[in-house]
Amino acid sequence: MANRYWVGGTESWDTTAGSKWSLTSGGSGGEAVPTSSDTVFFNAASGAVTVTIASGAICSTLTMTGFTGTLAFGSNSISCAGTGTVFAGATTFSVTGTPLINIIGTGVGTRAVNTGAVTEANSISFNVSAGTSQLSIVSGSRIRSLIFSGTSTGSFNAGTSAITIYGDLTFKAGMTITGGSGTKTFAATSGTQNITSPDGVAQLLNFPITFSGTATYKLQTDVNQGFGRSVTLSSGTLDLNGFGYVSDTFTIGAGTKNITFNGGTISDLSSGTFNNANPTGFTTTAGTGTGYISCAIINGGGSTYNCTLQVQNSVTVNGDNTFNDIANFAGASATVLFTAGTTNTFNNFNLLGSAGNLITIGSTTAGSTFTLSKSSGTVSGDYLSISDSVATGGATWYAGANSTNGGNNTGWTFTAPPGGTPIVISAGVTISGGVTIG
């Protein structure tokens, strides 16, 4: 193992030695091209030069401290085969092309990346494609993408490191993530950042997450942060892309932000909160399919939610909000409470219990009313227990023949709608008389 310092001026890091490499900083060139066992340095003595990365560039570790030039990657990459700090970056140099460093070491020992607080334009992607050891990113680092791929069976240590990601975060199926308190911030200013969890909800992304760029953050798998972890959407668009996002606390921060459901779900683990703390600039988009919010506490912030409010176990809804729909899980009792004095508006209203599985609708303050509004049509419920509710808006509200009037209600009729309780018959079913539906 030897040191290799770049002294070759504006040239290519390729398989030709020439006079590009020295054993010492600013020393005489003529040393051999670095191998997977050599430590490579670019520093102030290397000069403000442009080094073009050719195919096959490899080293053990790479240190950029003090370098003021440019690494021109093009479509090529640098491979680091060592352990310890495999990359030590600096804010003094720039990159062009599609910067990528492959971490390929199979030796024993942990691996670390320390980029420093580089700009988005000068960030570098890291692809862990081999090895069994743990990788950590030093706090304050800013990277483009972090990818685990290939034959890599190592782990990622989230730890206390607060890092910024400008590209994709892709974990490999079956790998292990060690949780920690350090926030991982997605901050790209354009394009799409893809997020892939190792095994969906089975493997926790057990660290805080913040979205604060102006890009689209798109789930490629289910994401589960686990108990005690939080996510903050301050700006940009979170595209659930048909997947579930599970977090103990989901906070809407300051900025222009959007949730696009595309059939996805935001939920908690049991008693979590969706907290729309900054409703200004917040919008939701239904996209394709039916999206859901299912959290124990919904601090709605007076926003419009183009999704279904899904009631599971016990839900408390705060604020004057608008939802596309409200529904419950079939075959289970549940309670939904609305803050006294508030009005929640629904385009559809589909709370429906069953024998032995009552759905309770009430106020957070017993004896003080809340308002449910639907502009038209007929609400047809059953097996509901309703108290302190003002039902209004233009729709006709039928609680159902098996529902309970808990008192202090206005606008509800505690019978089935005319014609009885609807029976849903699936397409393709033949009923009496040989009539086939669908």
Q: Are strands 50-53 and 11-13 parallel, antiparallel or unpaired?
A: parallel
**In this structure, are 136 and 161 located in the same domain?**
yes
* pLDDT value, residue 429: 41
Of 129, 149, 173, which closes a domain?
Answer: 173
Print burial letters for 231-253: b (CB count within 10 Å at least 16), e (below 16). Answer: bbbbbbbbbbbbbbbbbbbbbbb
In DSSP terms, 323 is beta-bridged to: 305, 346
**In this structure, are 280 and 216 located in the same domain?**
yes
Q: Is the pLDDT of residue 427 over 50?
A: no
Q: Is the pLDDT of residue 430 over 50?
A: no
**pLDDT tens string 293-306:** 999 999 999 999 99
**In this structure, are 152 and 7 located in the same domain?**
yes
**In this structure, are 231 and 146 located in the same domain?**
no
Judge whether 212 lies within some domain. yes
Q: Is the pLDDT of residue 204 over 90?
A: no
Q: Is the pLDDT of residue 437 over 60?
A: no
The three-class DSSP label of residue 436 is: strand
Of all residues in the chain, what percent carry a pLDDT higher than 90?
89
Q: Is the pLDDT of residue 202 over 70?
A: no
Beta strands in 187-272 (DSSP E): 192-196, 209-211, 216-219, 223-224, 230-233, 236-239, 244-246, 249-252, 257-260, 265-267
* pLDDT value, residue 424: 39
Of all residues in the chain, what percent carry a pLDDT higher than 70?
95
* pLDDT value, residue 411: 98
Q: Is the pLDDT of residue 433 over 70?
A: no
**In this structure, are 238 and 119 located in the same domain?**
no
Q: Is the pLDDT of residue 30 over 80?
A: yes
**In this structure, are 35 and 112 located in the same domain?**
yes
**pLDDT tens string 114-168:** 999 999 999 999 999 999 999 999 999 999 999 999 999 989 999 999 999 999 9
Tokens of 153: 């069976």
CB atoms within 10 A of CB 358: 16
Q: Is the pLDDT of residue 42 over 80?
A: yes
What is the average pLDDT across 9-35? 97
Q: Rounded to the nearest 5°, which phi and psi values hold at 188?
A: -65, 145
CA dihedral 218, 221, 224, 225 (to 10 degrees): -50
294's CB contacts (< 8 A; 6+ apart) are 265, 266, 267, 268, 309, 310, 311, 312, 315
Judge whether 128 lies within some domain. yes
Judge whether 377 lies within some domain. no
Average pLDDT, the chain: 94
**pLDDT tens string 209-223:** 999 999 999 999 999
pTM of the entire predicted model: 0.93
Give the domain extent around 48: 1-173
CB atoms within 10 A of CB 154: 21
Lowest-pLDDT range, 20-29, 54-63, 196-205, 272-281?
196-205
* pLDDT value, residue 200: 60
Question: Contact, 90 vs 116, CB < 8 A?
Answer: yes
Of 173, 204, 231, which closes a domain?
Answer: 173
Tokens of 196: 């892939």
Beta strands in 240-338 (DSSP E): 244-246, 249-252, 257-260, 265-267, 273-275, 282-285, 292-294, 297-299, 304-311, 313-318, 322-328, 334-338
Judge whether 390 lies within some domain. no
* pLDDT value, residue 203: 72
